[in-house]
Amino acid sequence: MALAIIAGVGFNYLGFAGLPLFGVHAVANKSVVAHLAVKFVHKVREPQPTDHNTPPANPVVIDGVKMRYNPYQPSDGPYPLLTQNEKIWIDVSISQQLVYLFNGSKRIYTMATSSGLDTIPDNSTPLGVYHIQAERGTWFYTANYQEGAKYWVSWLGHGIFLFHSVPMNSKQQLLPHVAAELLHKASHGCFHLTIPDAKWVYDHVPYGTTVVVEQAPVYLKGDQIYRPSSVQTQAVRATQPNPTQPNAKRAGAAKAMNA
């Protein structure tokens, strides 16, 4: 029932609306009611650190194969709109099978992936800190594996270790049984992505972008990376604008003008 303010002599009581208390009728005092309403509002809880960052499932059945993520759609909804010269970096968690896109310490997107099977050296994904290389393309096919993929971008070995779409056959037709393995190890060492995710990386991730490949899960607090490792901290700092740089430029310009 609604709360009302009970007018007293020199003090107020709380009673139920429309009911007298101690013979004094309830009166409406909007300013006091509003003040009390603020006090009774539950405090908004701060987000807690979590490693449960998997994008919501987007299930589909293709050729009788059930898939958690539709390989023809983005894995985490609409893509971020990057501003001109906005720097990003990539963190891939092998334990989570997730590709994180960060701007500084802020997560801007998450992609489901499949990394190397890690059963033998030839199908393992190497851990470490790397950078996007110059090689990229819209299609490749490897006869030895009888697999190809669209929208590939090299991050190690100059065309050996790639981000690319889920595998396809020589006719560029999807291999459903492999595409269904997103969020599970399934590759020969590359990172499989949905076709739109791979195209976004191809279109928007520039040469030189830092790629951190680690076994550990990534913890987030809201959209902020939580307790980053030393290599993650370096990547964060490298993509954050230098607040002293504009001042330095102005100072240099002032010296030039006064020379």
List every span in the chain annotated with CATH 2.40.440.10. 60-77+85-239
Q: Which CATH number fits domain 60-77+85-239: 2.30.110.10, 2.40.440.10, 1.10.287.610, 2.60.40.10?
A: 2.40.440.10
From 25, 35, 52, 190, the catalytic residue = 190
Print pLDDT tens along the chain (259 aa).
Answer: 444 433 444 434 444 444 444 444 444 555 554 554 545 445 567 889 999 999 999 999 999 999 999 999 999 999 999 998 899 999 999 999 999 999 999 999 999 999 999 999 999 999 999 999 999 999 999 999 999 999 999 999 999 999 999 999 999 999 999 999 999 999 999 999 999 999 999 999 999 999 999 999 999 999 999 999 999 999 999 988 665 544 433 333 333 333 3
Could you confirm whether 190 is annotated as catalytic? yes
The pTM (predicted TM-score) of the whole model is 0.78
Q: Which of 28, 39, 24, 23 is nearest to 3 (CA)?
A: 28
From 25, 42, 52, 164, the catalytic residue = 164
Q: Residue 71's CB: how many other CB atoms inside 10 A?
A: 28
Q: Concatenate the DSSP letters of all residues of the chain into one string.
A: --EEEEE-SSSEEEEETT--BTTB-EE--HHHHHHHHHHHSPPPPPPPPBS--PPPPB-EEETTEEESB-TTS-BTBSPP-PPTT---EEEEETTTTEEEEEETTEEEEEEE-B-B--SSGGGPPPPEEEE--S-EEEEEEETTTTEEEEEEEEEETTTTEEEEESPB-TTS-B-HHHHTTTTS--BSSSEEE-HHHHHHHHHH--TT-EEEEESSPPPEETTEE-S--HHHHHHHHHHS--THHHHHHHHHHHHHHH-
CA distance 57 to 207: 31
Could you confirm whether 164 is annotated as catalytic? yes
